[in-house]
Amino acid sequence: DIDLYKQLMSLKHDYENKNKIETMELSFSVTQDVLGSKSSYDLIPNGQNILVNHKNRHKYINILADYKLNKSMYKQSLAFLSGMSKVINLDYLRIFDATELSKLLSGDTNTENNWINSWKDLRENTHYSGGFHNMHRCVKWFWEILNNDLTVEDNQKFLMFVTSCTRSPLLGFKSLNPKFSIMCTGGDTTNLPTSQTCMNLLKLPNYPTKDLLKEKLLKSIRSNAGFDLS
């Protein structure tokens, strides 16, 4: 939670305006939202009635961080480990540090410099259907847009849109199962591109111009619609 981190760091390094903290009216409690039902949780006994001030702010930061990183997800973590232990011996995972394990589970984190290599890899491992092929004009425009016209954030959103993950597979797109596919859905250019993330499938109308393709593609991937646009 980047916003929470920034807020806590601001609170920690606030040396000049000691009265500012009191005006925030923070207490040693947090509000929990579980399936739409909100409740208050005391970080310490009677925490709702103990306000955060300049003297106890470090204690508040440490306790809140412990709650967010450990206690709030303790039951979920146990359930996750219990399920994973039925698939793989957990001792095998102890050889990885946190960064390596994250990469193993979620794929590699792309940077601005390696997105072009990622799209080259993706193109080499893409299947086409519905009349599309690698040299089709609409397909050529599509790859040009991915290589030249998307921001880093848009690149991540595109991957999320078609694969449900913002990261490239650890072993490259050749390991993606099923293979990434682009299917032509016909000539109704009023429709937006859609996807079936469980099949890694992008369904693309046969747009007449590159500009229209770019406009429609960006609208789809920026909608954050998920399965609503499948």
The set of catalytic residues is 198
CA angle 113, 116, 118 (to 5 degrees): 100
What is the secondary structure of 91-158 as a DSSP string? GGGGGS-HHHHHHHHH-BPP-TTTHHHHHHHHHHTEEEETT--TT-HHHHHHHHHHHHT--HHHHHHH
Closest CA to 122 of 199, 198, 46, 200: 200
Crossing angle of helices 210-221/137-148, nearest 10°? 60
Cα–Cα dist 98/102, whole Å? 6
Contact 104, 170 (CB under 8 A): yes
Cα–Cα dist 30/41, whole Å? 5
Q: Which 3 state secondary structure label does DSSP give 207?
A: coil
Cα–Cα dist 15/9, whole Å? 12
